[in-house]
Amino acid sequence: MASTRSVLFLTNSELGQCNVALAVAEEFLQRGDFHVHFASFHSAAPLIQELNTRVDAAHPAEFHEIRGPSMTDLAVRSTVGLLYHRPGITGATEGFTKVTNAMSNWKRTEYASAYRCVLEILEKVRPAVVVIDPILSLGLDACENITVRKVILWPVPIKDVVVLNQPK
């Protein structure tokens, strides 16, 4: 018998960031042990519709929109442009710089509003666990300021991040 526990995926809407969350969400849907909730920006809604169409689950995944600009929106309105990068460590380093610059384009009121939106989603869903994209800073902030069990899920191997912080 399936339980009514829920899992909430909090992720950016860009495919490079949310693909891993979509794959894990699909597994949860197929097993049927959790109600799957997915919170992201508007452009991710069709991805959840597609997931629900592909997986014949007893309870389809429920999408919750985070109101505010996505990472792509922030990049486009900055001087960064699109967030793609070349492969390899040098390309990844350039990509990290682009993301950092793009993310600095939040307006205070936008960030505060999106943060409150995530808090509202957390309050509504009351998940057993939150699976979060660590680049979604407003999601991390919200999860740090309330009592919630969380798991970090990221498509980047940790070795590609810590290599930048190693002594030379």
How far is Cα 52 from Cα 58, in angstroms, rounded to an integer? Answer: 10
In angstroms, the Cα distances linking 134 to 59, 72, 150, 167 are: 27, 16, 11, 24
**Across-strand partners of 20?**
none
Q: Which residues contact 1 (CB under 8 A, 6 or more apart)?
A: none
* pLDDT category of residue 76 using cuts at 50, 70 and 90: confident
Q: Which residue has the higher pLDDT, 2 or 76?
A: 76
**Averaged pLDDT, 45-73:** 93
pLDDT digits (tens, 9 = 90+) for 112-130: 999 999 999 999 999 999 9
Query: What percentage of the chain carries pLDDT values higher than 90?
Result: 55
Cα–Cα dist 35/37, whole Å: 7
Which runs of E-coded beta strand occur in the chain? 6-10, 35-40, 62-65, 129-132, 150-152
Q: Give the pLDDT band (50/70/90) at residue 3.
A: very low
Q: What is the mean pLDDT of residues 88-104?
A: 74
